[in-house]
Structure 1
C-alpha cells in the first residue's frame, strides 16, 4: 500500500574470542550500533570472558574451540537476526563504515553478502603493502543465504547463495600486537592448514618444505612490495613464511603419527 515504509533491518554482530583483552574493548565499541552483539569465547584465561560478561550490550557464551570454521558456524547458529556482521576481535568498524553498513542492509536492492577490504595495522601504524593491500573478506551477509564451508579449518570460506558485492569503506584490522603474538598466530594457522591438507590426503615432501616458505617470503616482501614497509615488511613477511614452514612440519608429524598408529594396530 502507498505510504508504507520498509521495516528497518536488524543486525547481529558476531565475534569469536580467545584471550583478546586489550583488543575486544574497541571492537565491541565499534559495533555498538548493531541490534545484537553476540560473542563466542573459547575459554579465555586473560579476563576476556569476565569483561564480556559484565558488558551491558553483549551476550557471551563459551564453547570449546575445534577450528575456526566450526567455531564461527556455532556462533552463526546463535544469531537472532538474518543480517550478520562477523568480525575478528582485533577488527574495528570505523564511523563511515558503520553508516555504510546500516545503509546497505536497509537497501531493498542489497546483495546477499558483502566483501570488506581491510586496513592492516602493525601495532598502531598502517601496513601499506607486504601482501595485504588487496586482502578482502566476507564480513556482512544474510544468514539465510550463506554458510561456512566445512572444507576449511582456517581462513574460513563463506558459501553464498546469491550475489556478493564490495563495500566502499574499509575495515580496520589490528593484525600485529607484538612479535610473539603474531608468531603464535602464524604457527597456529600453519598447524590447522596442515590438518586441512592431511584430511584431504595431501602428502608431505621435502621440496615443498623448503620451496613454499621461501616463495611466501619472496612473494610478500618483493612481489607484493613488503620492502616498502621497511622493517615492518621484513617482520611480517618472515612470520608469514614461518607459518607456511610450520604447515609442512606439522603435516610431516601427522603422517608419522598416522603411520605409527597403523603399525601398532596391525595384527
Structure 2
C-alpha cells in the first residue's frame, strides 16, 4: 500500500508587515498551501499580497491572538499546519528537518522550534531569549489554541510533542520604538486577560515586578552581554510589565 503524501499548509497572521511579507512568503514556498490572515493592515501589506496568485488572502478583524490563530487553523486543508510569523524565517536545516519528520511514521503531532533572536541584524544571545522555544508545526486536527490565553497564546495539543534540533530565525525588533509598541500591544491584551480573572494591581505590580523583570533578564540571564541592545531589550521588557498593570488599572476604573 502506497504511503500517503504528507502535505503542509503554512499560515501567517499579519498586520502592517510590508517590510517582511515578501521574504516570509519566499521562505515558506516549500509549503503546499499558504494562507495569510490579515487584520486590515494600513501600510500596504494586503495590497502587496494581491501580487501573489499562489496564496489565499483573507481579511479579518483582530480580536486576540488565540482567536485569530484558531480561525486560521480552520482554513487549512493539508495534513500538517506550519504557523509562521512574518518576522520569522525557516533555516535550510530546519526545512530539511521538517520535511523529514512529517514523512516519518510516528505518534508525534506537535513540534517545537528553537528560535534565534535578532535586533536589526545583531544576534541577541541572552536577555532572556536564550532558551526560547515555540510550537509552530502541528498535525491537522490535533491542536487548538486556549481561548483564555489571548496573548502569549498557548496551543492545546492532543498527542505527543517533540523539539526539533534546527533553529528558526526571529527578526523580532526593527528598532527600540518598534519593540516598545509591541510590548504595549501585548501588555494591553494581557491586561484584558487579567481583568477577566478579577486581578487588581497594587504597588508591587507597578514597581517591584517590573524591576524584578529587568534584573532577572539583565543580570541573571546575562542581558548585559548583549551590549546596548541588551539593555534596551531588558528595559523595554520591564516597561511592558509596568504598562500591563497601568492598562489593567484603567480597565478597572
Q: TM-score, normalised by structure 1?
A: 0.93
Q: Which residue of 1 aligns with 2:181?
A: 184
Segments ≥4 residues shifted beyond 4 Å: none
Pairs within 5 Å for 1:1-267: 4-256=1-253
Matches of 2:32 and 2:66, distance apart in 1: 24
Native 8 Å contact 1:84 1:140 kept in 2: yes
The C-alpha deviation readout for 1:124-151, integer Å capped at 9, x for no partner, is 1211111001011100011211110111
Count of aligned positions: 253
Native 8 Å contact 1:86 1:140 kept in 2: yes
Unaligned runs of 5+ in 2: none
Unaligned runs of 5+ in 1: 257-267
Q: Indicate the SS of the match to 2:180.
A: helix
Matches of 2:106 and 2:70, distance apart in 1: 26
Per the TM alignment, residue 110 of structure 1 is displaced from its structure 2 partner at its CA by: 4.8
Native 8 Å contact 1:19 1:47 kept in 2: yes
Tell which structure's C-alpha radius of gyration is larger. 1
Matches of 1:126 and 1:203, distance apart in 2: 37
Per the TM alignment, residue 203 of structure 1 is displaced from its structure 2 partner at its CA by: 1.2
